[in-house]
Amino acid sequence: MSYRISSIEQWQRLRYPLAPGRQLLLKVWVGATLAVVLGIGAMALLWERQLPNRLRRSVASEDWTGCLQASEQLTALRWLGDGAPAEQALCRRRRAEQLWASGERAEALQLQLQLVQSGQADEADQQQLQTWRQELREQALAQFRAGDLDGAIALLEPLERRSTATGGNHSFSDSLRETWNRNRVEAERLDQLVQKERWWEALDSLNRLDHPWWQKRTKNQRLAVEEAIDRIGDSQEHHQHGSTHADVIAGDALNSAVQRQLQKGLDPWAAFEAGCQDLGGSVEEDGPESFCRRQSPEGA
């Protein structure tokens, strides 16, 4: 049987005929897909219309957690509506206050920052963010001065998490670590100097400690060092080789002169010699002891 193919479409249908079952399956798939899409859209539209009422109820009952959730969902569906920026700002403000009061500082700062960046914040909101940040730094510093380095660093973490995210550094916490480690190393050096009875160097080491906790921790070493230096001064004043009270320079005058030289950066022994010379004396040694003797006019 011969017949004429009038078009390419006819030829394709003749060569690849579509089974009736496949046609039905295609129609069902298209219909189901369209129904799902319409259903999702309808549900989203219905949910979006319910959110403003839920938001108002949360505000009225001061449920700031629910208020925040509803406002964020409404913002996510803004393509279906106008959102509620003013209500969302109120939710963020009140919820941030709750979180801060309960000690959840990281979450409070994050929420307050979102509020400030939203365009709905006023000057008071911006000031509140700065106040919280400053309060956190002061709390961290207080803990650091009390000897709790880890606690101080933990308090600063919410602030420095933001700094890291924006490409900043941890300058404040790094400064605390540097100060702590410097004092720790100096205190270890002090212990060694005291054990070796190198009193002037130990006094210089004590004066380098600038952290209250380490200063308190080395209080006993300071007492031992000062008593040892006083004993050296007494020994110099009563030296058996003809030294009289007028011959020997000791006590507060010598200590002050030595401290001035230490502050100039001299090492302890050089500071002792220079301090003695400033007071018109010279360093003399007698066995294991050294003392500052005032030079006579004839020997000057």
Q: Where are the domains of the chain?
A: 41-129, 180-299
Cα Rg, the chain, nearest whole Å:
41
Confidence of residue 168 (pLDDT cuts 50, 70, 90): low
For residue 120, the model assigns a pLDDT of 82
Helix (H) or strand (E) holding 109: helix 105-117
Encode pLDDT of 258-288 as tens digits: 888 888 887 777 888 888 888 888 888 665 5
CB count within 10 Å of CB 207 equals 13
Q: What is the dihedral of CA 277, 281, 283, 288, to 10 degrees?
A: -130
The residue-averaged pLDDT of 242-262 equals 74
Distance of CA 170 to the CA centre of its chain: 6
Work out the burial of residue 236: count CB atoms within 10 Å of its CB; fewer than 13 is exposed, 13-18 middle, 19 or more buried: buried
Confidence of residue 5 (pLDDT cuts 50, 70, 90): very low
203 and 225 Cβ atoms separated by less than 8 Å: yes
Distance of CA 194 to the CA centre of its chain: 35
For residue 50, the model assigns a pLDDT of 57
| pLDDT: which is higher, 163 or 276 | 276
The whole-model pTM stands at 0.59
The residue-averaged pLDDT of 164-188 equals 82
**C-alpha distances in angstroms, 143 versus 69, 102, 159?**
35, 19, 16
For residue 241, the model assigns a pLDDT of 45
In three-state secondary structure terms, 172 is: helix
The residue-averaged pLDDT of 15-24 equals 53
